[in-house]
Chains A and B, each alone.
Chain A
Amino acid sequence: MSKQAPGVRIDGLTVTYNNLPAVRNVSLELPPGTITGIVGESGSGKSTLALSLLNAVQPPGRIAAGSVEIDEIGNVVEFAAEQIRRVRGSQIGYVFQAAQNSLNPLKTVGKQLLDLGRSHGVEDLRGLVRDAKDLLGRMGLDGARVLDSHQHELSGGMRQRVGIMLALVLNAHLVVLDEPTTALDMITQSTILKIIREVHEERGLTTLVITHDIGVVAEVADRLAVMYGGRLVEQGPTREVLASPQHPYTRGLIRAIPRLTGDIDEAQALPGRPPTLATVPAEGCVFRERCPLRMDVCDTVDPAAEAYGTRIVACHAVKVKEHA
């Protein structure tokens, strides 16, 4: 069953919780075979956006507008419950934020693997176990031992790898990783990131990584998308965005990263605080309260996402500069 890495087109997606928009009018394309990284702080809507790919936003959240078109699957926003259940796991793999805690503590990893297989009607369970062992071995683990283990017998880095195995073992070619390295040590993080990159290439995947850590995206992603207050404020090729960020939030975020070398005083925290669902402004630009380039128009008009070469930016000030 050789499948191809699917492309994904998210168009005008709005997700609301009790009529408050957590994700607002987001359009994002995941080209087939690429790794895209979404960066945002807490409350930016990045996890909600990721869940939308599986049409798995939990009530009271609901997808209010927009579409998520996935090659060979269709617009998952319109899928009925049973239809989407079959797609999850088998075609879209999801590695949850707390992979450390998302395993069943009462069952061995192997039993959970068989549960997964049965719920998706896999007939060749032996083959499934063999694939799982292969994948775990590929990630530097002793497959047989891991399958016989309960989650408490595994380290954080091992559980994360188990999470990746469970997401891929049914041969999904679209994989979403939500905070794949949070709570892991530096060396383990570096190992996991390398594994993500290698597995992505070997199996021909389309991968989406959600994180608060720009460093993680810088290491693995081809494309970088920055979210703030439910809006996608900037996207483009990772290296280009890092080297010359256009949106004032992207710029501030990059400047706020503690670095190992260089001038200490160059690094600055962003003033103000990120908005929550309740405090995000209903009209105008979501970032204006913390923005050094704020203009009058920012108070009333939400800037549209516009393309400038390889970059898409939603900012009035950038637009003025580009047209000057």
Chain B
Amino acid sequence: MITGTGIVKTFKQRGNVLDKREVRALRGVDFSIPKGGAASFIGESGCGKTTLGRIIAGLETHDEGEIVIDDVAMSSLKPKARQPYFRRIQMIHQDPYSALNPTRTIFQTLQAPLRLRARQTGRDGKWIDERASEVLSLVGLDPGSVLGRYPHQLSGGMRQRVVIARALTVDPEMLVADEAVSMIDVSLRLGILALLKDLRERLGVAVLFITHDVATARYIGDDGDLYVIYRGQVIEHGKVDTVISDPVHPYTQSLLSAIPVLHGLEQPGTQPVVPLSGLDESLSDGGCLFARRCPFHTERCTSELPALGRSEGVPQEHACFYPERRDVVARPMSGV
């Protein structure tokens, strides 16, 4: 179980010495990912979703708040003592082309972490060979044909599977997949998503999925949680299917309205929400972060910041004074 409370991260902009501007990447984010569970962080680029993922994987520090892994607060440990905890959270990066060393065969790539693991658990070289084959089988690759190959001999989908296999060598508690399918060929994407779901079911490994493509979040498990992040704040949070089929925050609604409709197969929603303007990070004058772009904003929205919470009749958490259901999602056409 991994939880975070009140995570705040501020980046100081380099360059201008006199006018030091700060970028608020995360403004007090809470999350909780149960053992073997699934969670997705959704948002546009620059919303802080990747920063949050990196903080969770121990690759980035944060300024305020607490990360708790298996009931141990990370702030109570010295940096070195945190390592074994963060080692069990493995990152899967977006680009499988740059994530593998091109001069090493797949076996050599898998061997390095396995050797470390063998030393920790007092196992021998034979175990390393067996385990290398085993993790490749787990990700749906044929060890016999893949082990001796170099990354350039594999397709993007196969490389991403190798990256996942490498992450599995350390028996992780959780995989953090940051846009893990966006560079994979369309026909193979679902295969990677299905694999992540399958690993959850078979190995009990939790999956944190970070993406701007909302639809893919459903495919790692419909029991998962969805966090919609806007400018460093979670603005809607609930079960994946609840948030996707019944969003109440106008930002979530505009994200879903923006997804292309497969005309001929799908019927567009009848109440699409289009933001009034493009994203402007410089605007910060109290009030709701989305107010300036929100077609439904009122006076209150520009002066008061809505906190993430619940309201009557809405199953998910949201940060909006005026939560309202709108028909924004395309539905399959009947009879197709």
Task: Tell me the A residues contacting B by CB distance below 8 Å.
Answer: 41-42, 140, 155-157, 185-191, 193, 212-216, 218-219, 238-243, 252-254, 256-262, 264, 267-270, 273-274
Docked CA distance A270–B186 (Å): 9
Docked CA distance A140–B258 (Å): 17
Q: Are B213 and A273 in contact (CB under 8 A)?
A: no
CB interface residues, B 131-190, toward A, < 8 Å:
155-158, 185-190
B216 part of interface (Cβ distance < 8 Å):
yes
Contacts of B194 in A (CB 8 A): 269
Contacts of A191 in B (CB 8 A): 278
Contacts of B216 in A (CB 8 A): 258
Closest Cβ–Cβ distance, residue B273 to chain A (whole Å): 10
Q: Are A218 and B264 in contact (CB under 8 A)?
A: yes
A-binding segment of B3-11, B15-23, B110-118, B326-334: B326-334
Contacts of B244 in A (CB 8 A): 260-261
Contacts of B158 in A (CB 8 A): 273
Contacts of B213 in A (CB 8 A): 186, 258
The binding surface of chain A is classed by DSSP as helix
12 additional A-B pairs beyond A254-B265, A259-B262, beta carbons within 8 Å, are A41-B187, A187-B275, A187-B279, A188-B278, A256-B187, A258-B215, A264-B218, A267-B190, A269-B189, A273-B155, A274-B187, A274-B188
Given known A-B contacts A187-B258, A187-B275, A261 and B186 have beta carbons under 8 A apart: no
A-binding segment of B98-106, B249-257, B294-302, B314-322: B249-257
Q: Are B190 and A190 in contact (CB under 8 A)?
A: no
Docked CA distance A241–B263 (Å): 10
Closest Cβ–Cβ distance, residue B313 to chain A (whole Å): 22
Docked CA distance A260–B255 (Å): 12
Q: Are A274 and B155 in contact (CB under 8 A)?
A: yes
| Chain B residue at smallest Cβ distance from A190 | B258
Docked CA distance A268–B274 (Å): 31
Contacts of A239 in B (CB 8 A): 263-264
Q: Are A214 and B44 in contact (CB under 8 A)?
A: no
Task: Tell me the B residues contacting A by CB distance below 8 Å.
Answer: 44-45, 155-158, 185-191, 193-194, 212-216, 218-219, 222, 244-245, 254-266, 274-275, 278-279, 329-333, 336
Q: Which of B189, B215, B265, B275 has the most CB of A within 10 A?
A: B265
Q: Are B185 and A258 in contact (CB under 8 A)?
A: no
Q: Are A261 and B329 in contact (CB under 8 A)?
A: yes
Q: Are A212 and B186 in contact (CB under 8 A)?
A: yes
Q: Are A242 and B265 in contact (CB under 8 A)?
A: yes
Q: Are A187 and B332 in contact (CB under 8 A)?
A: no
Q: Are B222 and A264 in contact (CB under 8 A)?
A: yes
Closest Cβ–Cβ distance, residue B234 to chain A (whole Å): 18
Docked CA distance A273–B188 (Å): 7
Q: Are A185 and B45 in contact (CB under 8 A)?
A: yes
Q: Are B190 and A268 in contact (CB under 8 A)?
A: yes
| Chain B residue at smallest Cβ distance from A224 | B264
Docked CA distance A253–B155 (Å): 17
Q: Are B264 and A240 in contact (CB under 8 A)?
A: yes
Q: Kindly identify which residue among B186, B214, B333 contacts A253, using a CB–CB cutoff of 8 Å.
A: B186
Q: Are B187 and A260 in contact (CB under 8 A)?
A: no
| Chain A residue at smallest Cβ distance from B46 | A185
Closest Cβ–Cβ distance, residue B217 to chain A (whole Å): 9
Q: Are B157 and A273 in contact (CB under 8 A)?
A: yes
Contacts of A188 in B (CB 8 A): 44, 278
Contacts of A213 in B (CB 8 A): 186, 260
Docked CA distance A189–B186 (Å): 17
For this complex, 5 residue pairs linking A to B, each with C-beta atoms less than 8 Å apart, are: A186-B213, A216-B260, A252-B187, A260-B215, A262-B332
Q: Are A269 and B190 in contact (CB under 8 A)?
A: yes
Contacts of B45 in A (CB 8 A): 156, 185
Contacts of A215 in B (CB 8 A): 259-262
Closest Cβ–Cβ distance, residue A277 to chain B (whole Å): 13
Docked CA distance A242–B261 (Å): 11
Closest Cβ–Cβ distance, residue A322 to chain B (whole Å): 21
Given known A-B contacts A253-B186, A273-B155, A243 and B336 have beta carbons under 8 A apart: yes
